[in-house]
Structure 1
Amino acid sequence: MIPPKPPSRPEKVSLWRYLKLFRQDILSAQPAKLYRAWMAEFKTPFFRSYLANDPELVKRVLKDRPDDFPKSDRIGAGLRPLLGNSVFLTNGEAWKRQRRIIDPAFEGGRLREVYPAMYAAGEAAVARMAANTGVQDVEPETSHAAADVIFRTLFSIPIEDETANAVFEKFRDHQRTQPILNLAAFIPGPRWMPRFFKRATKDTAADIRGLITGLTERRMVEIKAGTAPDDLATKIMTTADPETGETFSTDEMVDQVAIFFLAGHETSASALAWTFYLMAMFPEWQEKVAAEAQEVSADFASVSKLRTSRDVFREALRLYPPVPMMVRETTCPETLRGRNAPKGSQIVLSPWHLHRHERLWDRPDDFDPTRWGTENGKACQRDAYIPFSAGPRVCTGAGFAMVEGALLLSMLVRRFKFELTDRTPVPVAHLTVRSKDGIWLNVTERH
């Protein structure tokens, strides 16, 4: 069986038809040829766009010369009401300063230190699902579990905390109010130029940021009083930039917490939901994960035994990368596979297409966790696998996400069996790759 894949659009459509399709779903708005092309050029009245699937071009943009290809605001414009000037949206010296403060929180033994909170979130997810077996949409539960992980590891509070739950509820309202593309961002202009967001987008973003501000201000007080828990928020808020000696202000920390919640909750929820669907499609792999999961415990060392779970989760990230496209911008004229790209061109890097590229991967649309042990899989993992981006801007929480994904998968599959229903999910891209109408599975207790 082949896992669900969205249909491709007709080869030729008008610009306005393309923009309409793009706002509805960026995956089905693309032509089928992108699964084979090394590069594709798109011309608009305002700029040129180049989708790069050639591993050498991807390497040039992300690893070799990242400063020459900063993030484009054509995607970020849609996220700015919620994320402000977070590390996800900034470039240049502002971004480098933010990473110097944030990165130490995820280095060294920090994963071991936050693992008990992660495991407690897994136990809570098992308890919730035990009270709600039967046919259900698993996306809400994976969202709930991932949000619980973030709040426990970041602020040492469970999702049941009043403020944490309010942020979670508001985010569910926010995530589908704003398309991933803000059409006004297609028109060249300064950053201050209005982008005309929906009122619901601005209101929900303001509500979320207000709640996060309250959490951050309380933590500032606890840090000054010497009573703050030793979690990720405390670590980040007390880390000084080694070059300037400055720490984040409250407003800056609110921006960062917003992206931690988005990146650490929404992306993990997407990946986990698709992983459970794949487990239902391929029950032989589900049983392998369940057998291996008997080894998992509250001891961090047990994570090293989850090899099958990691390979399964890695394969789910390949087929359903939570962030399907990334956009960079040229700061000077470039030559891309013999084509001249002027300054200000958009370089689109698409994990969705790169991970399924027919000229790179063996059986690219198949689910096969054993591929990571093959020569083709190893080569592609090195050159054509970017679920967390790559280079200096690689997601700082990539290691965190891989532990979280394998752990939650193992804990839930150990207790429950996931089976297909008559509803086949259709992948669409909103903030992340989700299912158009949910991912419905029959969940039963194992005996």
Structure 2
Amino acid sequence: MTAPLPPKPPARPDKVSLLRYLRLFRDDILSAQPAKLYRAWMAEFRTPFFRSFLLNQPDLIQTVLKERPDDFPKSGRVSEGLRPLLGNSVFLTNGETWKRQRRIIDPAFEGGRLKDTFPAMWAASEAAVGRLAQAGETVEIEEVTSHAAADVIFRTLFSIPIEHEVAAQVFARFRAYQRAQPILNIAAFVPLPRWMPRFHSRETRANAAKIRGLIAHLTAERMKAITAGAAPDDLATKIMTTADPETGERFDTDEMVDQVAIFFLAGHETSASALAWTLYLMALYPEWQERLAQEAEQLGAGEPGFAVMSKLRLSRDVFREALRLYPPVPMMVRQASCPERFRDRDIPNGAQLVLSPWHLHRHERLWDNPDGFDPTRWQTENGKTCQRTAYMPFSAGPRVCTGAGFAMVEGPLILSMLLRRFRFERIEGRDPVPVAHLTVRAKDGIWLRVMPRN
């Protein structure tokens, strides 16, 4: 058997002038990152337009995300790039507005809710297997995983499959939006005056408006069902009927549209990205693929209970390793709300602080074999330490992704279901190149050869 190829590390130019950096940044933020940033604890970027600081030192990241999050709110400049779709969602807000939104949303994901949503995840996984069986031998995997992740979201949120007319339209429009919108646009770094138009293409605005209109229709219909006492017990119903324990207020229909938009973005786009890169890694490492396929036989025939997830340990470790190498959200930006001093450098009020899973997860001074694919690392002392201090695919602290536990069930489950039925093989000359759209995707898609087992 031919030895598997290690995943190629991202492009890392040795030296990047400001002009070249801005040119590379315009084309793709990931390609602009020089090699030294994967070794640095902190780096400063200074231009006539902005000052920003990349933080890789674990204790500084802990200060910003966990110890003093109110002093480092989400950057308002970054939100400009996502505002047309997400409105005033929990992903973009800060302060008391954000705290109120989380008080209403968090109960929907607590306790036994994962167990309650498991049948919907299982049904979506079976549907994904059925679609892939009809897809042919050469397959663009990101399309497959996007379809599967969107199906999970609609089944768990609104109790409808992706084939539902409105769900299908949302999915189609979102695919177009995803490809047209970078994760960070120029508004994230250039302090434009309020009266100046923001840099959103006509296509971006049109797709965002259509998506929000479709979500508004679903939300209004659910509100009617709740009023009539006929609503299913799913995530949408739970969120829409939960009152803020401090004020007694609930989300109105307009607020719910904002929140559903981010649930779809965070729960569909990120899961699809992570699952697609995991399948690519399985094609590169067939011995791991076979181990997971064998483990997946424990799923048995018919729908198992939620407890079966405890048996998918290898699948979970592989998915966790894929999240390390290809974190769906490569960079997060916070803003200093007061003057600060980190590593003997003055951080001025208003400076942008970049917290980058993309750099942190491959940091040469933190991880053993940082660019290598090694799911066994999570059982080592280095892996356990880094998981606590240098691993944040879902962010960290009070703003950690509400659906993190949800994703760590969905990803390994769909992965196991697919590997149980299919073998995924690399196509010579078509290795994917990671780029940042709304999440880390492949420049020209992830193309794999898919063969049925048995």
Give the deviation of 1:192 after TM superposition. 6.5
In structure 1, the residue matched to 2:431 is 424
Q: In 2, distance between residues paired with 1:224 and 1:12?
A: 59
The alpha carbon displacement at 1:193 in A equals 5.1
TM-score, normalised relative to structure 1? 0.98
Q: Distance in 1 between matches of 2:320 and 2:195?
A: 40
Render the CA deviation track for 1:50-86: whole Å, top value 9, x for unaligned.
0000001110000110000000023221111000010
Whether the 8 Å CA contact 2:283–2:424 is kept in 1: the answer is yes
CA distance in 1, matches of 2:446, 2:190: 36
Secondary structure of the structure 2 residue equivalent to 1:365: coil
Residue correspondence of structure 1 range 5-44 to structure 2 within 5 A? 5-15=9-19, 17-44=20-47
Q: Deviations over 1:181-211 (max 9, x none)?
A: 3324433356675313111110000000000
Q: Which runs of 4+ in 1 moved over 2 A?
A: 17-20, 178-182, 184-194
Q: What stretches of structure 2 of length at least 5 have no aligned partner?
A: none
Taking only the aligned residue pairs, the percentage that are identical comes to 73
- AA at the equivalent of 1:436: K
Match of 1:210 among 194, 208, 213: 213
- AA at the equivalent of 1:53: N
Q: Does 1:414 align with 2:417?
A: no
Quote the offset at 1:282 in angstroms: 0.6
Q: 1:64 aligns with which of 67, 70, 91?
A: 67
Q: State the match for 2:284 in structure 1.
A: 281
Given that 1:322 and 1:387 are in contact with CA atoms closer than 8 Å, whether structure 2 keeps it comes out as: yes
Instruction: Indicate if the aligned counterparts of 1:52 and 1:58 stay in contact, CA closer than 8 A.
Output: yes
TM-score by length of 2: 0.96
**SS of match in other structure, 1:40:** strand
The question of 1:168 aligning with 2:171 is answered: yes
Asked whether 1:224 is paired with 2:256, we answer no
Q: Give the secondary structure class of the aligned counterpart of 1:386.
A: coil
Q: Deviations over 1:154-179 (max 9, x none)?
A: 00000000000000000011112222
Q: CA deviation at 1:8?
A: 1.9
- The residue aligned with 2:135 is 132
Secondary structure of 2:180's counterpart equals: coil
How far did 1:136 drift?
A: 1.3
* Amino acid paired to 1:12: V
Distance in structure 2 (CA, Å) of the matches to 1:426 and 1:45 = 32
Find the aligned partners of 2:58 and 2:197 in 1 and give their Cα distance.
Answer: 36
Aligned to 1:442: 449
SS in 1 for 2:64: helix
Tell whether the 8 Å contact from 1:4 to 1:424 is kept in structure 2 after alignment.
no
Task: Summarize the alignment of residues 232-381 of structure 1 with structure 2, pairs less than 5 Å apart.
Answer: 232-296=235-299, 297-381=303-387
Are 1:390 and 2:396 counterparts? yes
Aligned residues of 1:4 and 1:425 also touching (Cα < 8 A):
no
Q: How many Å apart are 1:46 and its aligned residue?
A: 2.6
Matched letter for residue 361 of structure 2: H
Contact 1:427 1:436 in 2 (8 A): yes
Which range moves more in the overlay, 383-392 or 45-54? 45-54
- One-letter amino acid matched to 2:341: T
Structure 1: state its 5+ residue gaps: none
Q: Does 1:117 align with 2:124?
A: no
Note if contact 1:23-1:179 (Cα within 8 Å) is conserved in structure 2. no
Name whichever of 124-133 and 229-238 sits farther off. 124-133
Cα distance change of structure 1 residues 350 and 185 upon mapping to structure 2, 3 Å threshold: closer
Tell me, in whole angstroms, the C-alpha distance in 2 between the residues paired with 1:315 and 1:186.
31
Deviations 1:349-398 (A, max 9, x none): 00010000000000000000000000000000000000000000000000
What is the alpha-carbon distance in structure 2 between the residues aligned to residue 349 and residue 288 of structure 1? Answer: 34
Correspondence for 1:108: 111
DSSP-derived class of the 1:121 partner? helix
Alpha carbons 1:105, 1:235 under 8 Å: kept: yes
Q: Kindly state the Cα deviation for residue 20 of structure 1 after the two structures are TM-superposed.
A: 3.1
Select between 173-182 and 226-235 the one with higher mean Cα deviation: 173-182
Q: Distance in 1 between matches of 2:212 and 2:14?
A: 41
SS at match of 1:176: helix
Question: What amino acid does structure 2 have at the position aligned with 1:280?
Answer: A
Partner of 1:87: 90
Give 1:331's aligned amino acid.
S
Q: Distance in 1 between matches of 2:209 and 2:287?
A: 46
- 1:295 is displaced (CA, Å) by 1.3
Amino acid at match of 1:23: R
More displaced 10-residue stretch of structure 1: 42-51 or 137-146: 42-51
What is the Cα deviation at residue 285 of structure 1? Answer: 0.6
After TM superposition, the structure 1 stretch with the greater mean CA deviation from structure 2, 384-393 or 70-79, is 70-79
Distance across 2 between alignment mates of 1:98 and 1:294: 41
- The range that moved more, 129-138 or 257-266, is 129-138
Q: What one-letter code is carried by the residue in structure 2 that aligns with 1:125? A: A
